[in-house]
Amino acid sequence: MSELRNILTDSVNGLFGDRVTRELLTRFDETGDDGGIWAEVEAQGLTRPLVSEENGGVGGEWRDAHVLLSAAGFHSAPVPLAETILASWLAERAGLPVPEGMATIIDGSDGSLTITGDGDSAKLSGTVARVPWASKAETAVVVAAQDGGVMVGEVRLSDARDISASQNMAREPRDDVSFDGAPLRVAHLPNDLPQDVILQYGAMVRAAQIAGAMDKVLTQTVQYANERTQFGKPLGKFQAIQQELSRMAGEAAASGVIAEAPFAALDDGQNSEWQIAAAKARTSEAAGVGATVGHQTHGAIGFTYEHSLHFATRRLWSWRSEFGGARFWSRRLGTRAVDRGVENFWADIVSG
């Protein structure tokens, strides 16, 4: 592991480990307040692992972003770290200013968002549902349709016509946003990026968060099984419990391994699309096992609001459906497989 990655790993786990307590997450659920941790996330440079040093970033790799996102998932950090990391990266890649403050990404590449005009007179219009953190973020980096192609744009969310607040099961903002001629800066989508870059990379970051949350549920559940005593011995001594926790551990391990794959592929200059599809499909399937076994082992106490298990499990249940769920990404992989035919199946597994 690089020195930078060690530093980032220590910083992010130190910060979230200390600050993201049950009290903070409860307050976030009730009021949406993050208790000031966003300011610290920014102050420590954690939102810009992929931004060059000259633009105020740390000039790291995708693998560096991966450790941050896994940690954010592990700790249920109630901040748009994943969204801001992606927005900052995409803005810089497209030659737009790196956004200050909280940022999010919006995929309008299917034509739900359109850009008219260019240069200083460019305007953004359209409506997109369930944009992560839109009601909190200052800036959105969007991919929107223009003249039969797509462009990247950077828009102030205060210029939106309407932001209609909604939430996922973890009470993270997932808001409907509409623009009606909002001014924005535009740039071409870099040639090496797919039109659905936000969908794909969004799926990649959610998979990393899911893998982190799976580790959290496993850790919490193992700890509980070792502490809680029934029939005169800790739950973890019962074979029935051991078998289920081992199954969950396998799913957590699989999630961790495949979630890292697309980040590594991007760093190594390999095709990431199929690794992303596999990562989101596989982790989204595993999420259900993690939440189910976690709750079953915790019994009734884990079903209460008072117990902290649900902070991770509600995120697992939400994140598995965001940026395409298991079926969506399985279809993509399956469509490629039938298009490429039986003779290429194994070769494609090997090359990712």
Partner 1 sequence: MGFFNFEPATLPPEAEALRPEVRAFLAEALKDKRPVDRAWNWMGHDQDFSRKVGEQGWLGMTWPKEYGGGGRTFFERYVVMEEMLAAGAPVQAHWVADRQSGPLLLRFGTEEQRKFFLPQIISGNACFCIGMSEPDSGSDLAATRTKAEKVDGGWKVNGTKVWTSSAHLAHYMIALFRTDAEDKHGGLSQFIVDMKSPGLTVSPIINLAGNHHFNQCVFDDVFVPDDALVGKPGGGWNQVVAELAFERSGPERYLSCIQLILELLGVAAQSRDPAMVEEVGRLSAHALTLRRMSLSVAGKLQRGENPSLEASVVKDVGGVFEQSIPEIAARLVEEEPTLMGGDNFQQVLAFLTMEAPSFSLRGGTREILRGIIARGLGLR
Binding site residues, partner 1, CB under 8 A: 74, 215-216, 218-219, 222, 225-226, 236-237, 239, 241-243, 245-247, 249-251, 253-254, 256-258, 260-261, 264, 268, 274-275, 277-279, 281-282, 285, 326-327, 329-338, 341-342, 345-346, 348-350, 352
Smaller CB distance to partner 1: residue 6 or 219?
Answer: 219
Closer of 169 and 264 to partner 1 (Cβ): 264
**For the chain, how far is it from start to end, CA to CA, in angstroms?**
23
Of 188 and 331, the one with the shorter C-beta distance to partner 1 is 331
Answer whether 47's CB lies under 8 Å from 41's CB.
Answer: yes
Residue 6 CB, shortest distance to partner 1, in Å, is: 15
| Burial group, residue 196, by CB count within 10 angstroms (0-12, 13-18, 19+) | middle
Q: Write the Ramachandran bin of 205: left for phi over 0, alpha for psi from -120 to 50, otherwise beta.
A: alpha
HSE value, Cβ hemisphere, 13 Å, CA-based, for 268: 12
At its nearest, how many Å lie between partner 1 and the CB of residue 67?
11
Residue 319: CB minimum distance to partner 1, A:
16
Query: Closest distance between partner 1 and the C-beta of residue 278, in Å?
Result: 4
Which is closer to partner 1, CB of 303 or CB of 345?
345
Residue 302 CB, shortest distance to partner 1, in Å, is 17
| Distance from C-alpha of 14 to C-alpha of 226, rounded to nearest angstrom | 25
| Shortest Cβ 243–partner 1 spacing (Å) | 5
Q: Which one, 82 or 279, has the nearer CB to partner 1?
A: 279
Nearer to partner 1 among residue 72 and residue 184 (C-beta):
72
